[in-house]
Amino acid sequence: MYRRTLVQAVCRHSVRLYHRTVVHHNTTKQTVTKAKIPDRFVQAVIDIVGNDNVSTTDAIREQHGHDESYHATSPPDIVAFAENTVHVSRVAKLCNDNEVPLIPFGTGTGMEGGINALKGGLCLNLSKMKKIVSVNAEDFDCTVEAGVTRLTLNNYLRDTGLTFPIDPGADASLCGMCATSASGTNAVRYGTMRENVLNMEVVLPDGRIIYTAGKGRRTKKTSAGYNLTNLFVGSEGTLGIITQATIRLHGIPEATISAVCSFNNVQEAVDSTVQILQMGIPIARIEFLDEVSVDASNRYSKLDMKVAPSLFFEFTGSPDTLDKQAEVVKEITFLNGGSDFKWASDHQERNRLWKARHDMLYACMALKPGKKPYSTDVCVPISNLPEVIMRSNEVIQQAGAIDAFMVGHVGDGNIHSLFLFDTENKKEVELVQGLAETIATIAMELDGTCTGEHGIGMGKRGLLQQEIGETGMEVMRQLKRTFDPKGIMNPGKVIFE
Ligand SMILES: Cc1cc2nc3c(=O)[nH]c(=O)nc-3n(C[C@H](O)[C@H](O)[C@H](O)COP(=O)(O)OP(=O)(O)OC[C@H]3O[C@@H](n4cnc5c(N)ncnc54)[C@H](O)[C@@H]3O)c2cc1C
């Protein structure tokens, strides 16, 4: 539903380019909002980005009105493609002058409805900003434009011996990853986007351009003033548009081996994880899959893993240190009841294993065609991992009839409970939302967060309030008003305005 006509907002201003007429028509799946944009506004956008970079067709608007989450599509009124920072700056100023909502779009792989245009407006697709601006191999950093994806960058770096290891599975844009503070399977070794962004070029809603660490700076350390970089990392398009990011690169390890180990129950797997981390073994990845996830993965990715709670490991380093690490890990898992420890040192075999892990969402979805997934994303201190998993499992068991899977980047204390459900079935929707809220509350009781990597988006704003507290939220609202006094940036996300 269209919640607030833009006309109300625009009428307060003398420049009235934008004005919206709305027609609703139902499909079986969702209400599609059809918008009519005044020609003058469309023309003003075309004047900035060119005719080929603007669309108001239903198909393109629909495509830009949802991400990979279950949230119903909310299409923007107009989609514009920026080719450079000047385009972004001028479009932002135009939207700001006319109080038109502005939603940055990376690749649309988000999991929390971050790009849904809840109040219509202009979606700014950044995928045409594809330049890899610089690679400073000797300093282990590079600067990329907003549309460069992580796989594109890693292909480009192939011959340098360097890599950008932050890996959310999907081939997301690197600036989108900055915006959601993404991480994934490699965070246990390399950290998240927060630890890997050195500087960003950001366009503010009024069109001004800032560099969060100062223009051209790319130091590993800085104590210079407020940390604007980490204010924009995780801001989910609500404060400004990230047009370039300077990020850290890492050397490709000399050797890598992977392994899978299965357990009799979840507790054994989780206890092994905690002990491995507490021993300070510099492991590169530890991923947990419960029994149903392993089964889904076997079917989808044609694997033959034992159907049991399992851990996937990756070890990196020099060949002799790898063997030592792996032996200690094997011993810990055996002492905890683990069995079927299988190595995958061959490059192809390893890739097959990790591809299967990254395809887990689709493997689960393939079991119930037509159902949509929702994945919780809680994260707790590692010593509380066993408790959050056990208590989450209990509430899921008590809830009964819902398809549920559990996977996680357990090395970081980050666990996903994945539910498959019918988004047209009110009871199922309420059940999943209730479970997600309960699991997040359990995590918060255990000193954790409601989101380790997916972000707040549109659905977790209440949980953020619970997590941060009222005074903290007021400071966040003040920050939002400072950067975006007219509230045009991605309205309806992260905070209640
Ligand atoms: C199969 C699958 C697995 C995934 N696994 C993980 C995982 O393990 N870890 C993880 O962290 N995530 C995971 N994700 C989620 C997703 O890939 C990340 O959230 C990613 O960072 C989103 O990047 P994007 O370019 O697609 O952003 P989008 O979905 O386009 O946008 C996400 C949010 O960022 C804002 N935004 C995008 N670009 C910019 C910009 N340049 N400036 C300002 N704001 C911007 C948008 O407005 C929106 O609010 C997974 C997704 C899928 C589909």
Rounded Cα gap, residues 391 and 443, in angstroms: 9
Determine whether the shortest distance from the Cβ of 249 to ligand 1 is under 6 A: no
Determine whether the shortest distance from the Cβ of 301 to ligand 1 is under 6 A: no
Rounded Cα gap, residues 415 and 462, in angstroms: 20
To which residue do tokens 């509430």 refer?
A: 395
Determine whether the shortest distance from the Cβ of 364 to ligand 1 is under 6 A: no
Phi and psi at 459, nearest 5°, equal -95, -15
Rounded Cα gap, residues 246 and 471, in angstroms: 33
Rounded Cα gap, residues 139 and 82, in angstroms: 30
Domain ranges of the chain: 6-128, 132-251, 255-359, 368-453
To which residue do tokens 């991992």 refer?
A: 385
pLDDT of residue 10: 32
- Pick out the chain residues at pLDDT < 50: 1-30, 32
Q: Using the atom order of ligand 1, give the atom closest to the CA of residue 177.
A: 21
Determine whether the shortest distance from the Cβ of 183 to ligand 1 is under 6 A: yes
Q: Tokens for 488?
A: 């045009």
Radius of gyration over every alpha carbon of the chain, rounded to an integer in angstroms: 23
From the CA of 112, how far away is ligand 1's center (Å)?
Answer: 9
In terms of phi and psi (left: phi > 0; alpha: psi -120 to 50; beta: otherwise), the region of 191 is left
| 301 contacts 361 by C-beta, under 8 angstroms | no
- Spatial CB neighbours of 125, under 8 Å, sequence gap ≥ 6: 64, 79, 80, 81, 82, 105
At the top level of CATH, the class of 132-251 is alpha beta
pLDDT of residue 9: 35
Domain at 368-453, CATH from 2.40.37.20, 3.30.70.2740, 3.30.565.10, 3.40.50.1970? 3.30.70.2740
pLDDT of residue 433: 95
Number of H helices, E strands in the chain: 18, 21
Phi and psi at 154, nearest 5°, equal -65, -35
Q: Tokens for 146?
A: 């907003």
Angstrom distances, CA of residue 81 to CA of 6, 41, 129, 146: 22, 15, 9, 12
pLDDT of residue 28: 33
293-295-297 Cα angle (round to 5): 70
E runs forming strands in 126-251: 132-136, 141-145, 162-163, 197-203, 209-211, 241-248, 250-251
The topology (CATH level 3) of 6-128 is 3.30.43
From the CA of 455, how far away is ligand 1's center (Å)?
Answer: 9
For residue 205, the tally of other CB atoms under 10 A from its CB is: 21
Rounded Cα gap, residues 19 and 405, in angstroms: 45
pLDDT of residue 321: 87
pLDDT of residue 8: 33
Rounded Cα gap, residues 222 and 376, in angstroms: 34
From the CA of 114, how far away is ligand 1's center (Å)?
Answer: 8
Phi and psi at 311, nearest 5°, equal -120, 135
Determine whether the shortest distance from the Cβ of 109 to ligand 1 is under 6 A: yes
Determine whether the shortest distance from the Cβ of 360 to ligand 1 is under 6 A: no
CATH number of 255-359: 3.30.70.2190
Structure pTM? Answer: 0.92
Rounded Cα gap, residues 292 and 356, in angstroms: 14
Q: Tokens for 394?
A: 């209990």
Please name which of 437, 435, 447, 337 lies closest in space to residue 393, comparing C-alpha atoms.
Answer: 435
To which residue do tokens 């047209």 refer?
A: 424
Rounded Cα gap, residues 474 and 238, in angstroms: 15
CATH topology agreement for domains 6-128 and 132-251: no
Determine whether the shortest distance from the Cβ of 182 to ligand 1 is under 6 A: yes
Rounded Cα gap, residues 256 and 298, in angstroms: 23
Q: Tokens for 179?
A: 């915006």
